[in-house]
Amino acid sequence: MRGPTAGMFHVEHEFRRFIEESGLAAMVDDRKLEKYSAFTALVVEASTRFNLTGHKTPGDVFVDLVIGSIAPLARLNVPRRTFVDIGTGAGVPGIPLAIQYPDWTGTLIDSNAKKAAFVRDVIQQLELPNLTAICGRVEEIAHDRAHRGRYDWVLSRAFNALYVTLELGAALAGPQGRCYVYSRETVGSLPQEILAHAHALGLVPSTSDDYEHVLGCSDGLLFRKAARTPDRYPRRYTIIKRDAQRIG
């Protein structure tokens, strides 16, 4: 990483305020803040060249993409873990989480070549050896033995409809692994068709105890891998998308 400039010090001071307001001050040291700030700058710069994210200002990127990625998982009560971030886009939540948890090992997947190339560049510039970026389609990668059933956590943020996300991600989760979807929904609000589909994929909604003792908060949608995902899943994307649209 390049050394910080005077302008970066000013920006990091503002970002530190955002961190404090979010209640994460005790969990983010100066080294992590420096990397979060550098990531934010790279996202803003790349967004001027291609459609990376809708956020244009450093403050918006930092609050939504950085804090928004780490806040729900900042109090995880788990040992060292492996994770996969499906549909990572600008590298969220995977890059902020890899900075927050340097002992985690993560794989970031996106089918868009420009976005995957950006993520690889960020990994190199920020010196994040615990991350790997893959350009490819999740529904194909999930049938690869190198990835199927290999991850403790499957993560997705603003990637697709929940029906689609669960089918694409379920096969990647290992035994007793967890799928976490950043969402404002609650399990109780989900249509029965979604819950039935999750069950067919080998997933069950996590209990309130899981949220409390594993996640440390009640945000998002958390599923536990309770059974092996049948070999036919995930299906072709067009088929999954068609079925998802029937639910609405």
Q: Is the peptide bond before 234 cis (omega within 30 degrees of 0)?
A: yes
pLDDT at 162 over 90: yes
* Percent of the chain predicted with pLDDT > 70: 95
pLDDT at 8 over 60: no
Q: What is the pLDDT of residues 193-243, one digit of tens each?
A: 999 999 999 999 998 888 888 888 889 999 999 999 999 999 999 999 999
Instruction: List the domains of the chain with CATH numbers.
Output: 75-247 (3.40.50.150)
Q: What is the mean pLDDT of the chain?
A: 92
Q: What is the pLDDT of residues 83-136, one digit of tens each?
A: 999 999 999 999 999 999 999 999 999 999 999 999 999 999 999 999 999 999
Contacts of 144 by beta carbon, 8 Å cutoff, 6+ apart? none
Instruction: Give residue 7's pLDDT.
Output: 46
**Separation in Å, CA 24 to CA 11, 74, 91, 100, 106:** 18, 8, 21, 11, 22
pLDDT at 9 over 70: no
